[in-house]
Amino acid sequence: MKQVICEEKECRRCHVTKPIDQFRKRPHGFILNQCKDCEGELGKLRRLSKQSIESSFVSITTKSGKVVQASTQPINGGRKATSPLTEKVLYFDPTVNRDTARIAFSAYANVLRTGINFKSI
């Protein structure tokens, strides 16, 4: 049985035919379908998306001095806090109780606690 050795391959992402050394190889010899340049671009996009998720967290200090973590992005199983007086929205971890979340949201949005709405997500 003869083994066929390719010298060029087409990248599945950019559709450019490149030399085989521009593709990463698995330890058992399998050559990946994306070139190293495209893999690098995808890695950059993943890193940037992780950074934006991490930067969406906000630390809020209440009047009593308690620090509460909230997010501007949805948290699975968490609570969404809104107020009809402002367009600001915060998402709280499910471990934060409703009263603490209400106090933190009122400090963040500078609104009265009585008008804050909660919705589980």
Residue 52: its pLDDT value, please? 60
pLDDT at 4: 64
- How much is the pLDDT for 116? 81
pLDDT at 82 over 60: yes
Q: What is the pLDDT of residues 87-108, one digit of tens each?
A: 889 999 888 888 888 889 888 8
- 1-56 tens-digit pLDDT: 566 677 899 999 999 999 999 999 999 988 999 999 999 998 888 887 776 655 67
pLDDT of residue 20: 93
Nearest to 113 by CA among 63, 65, 70, 57: 63
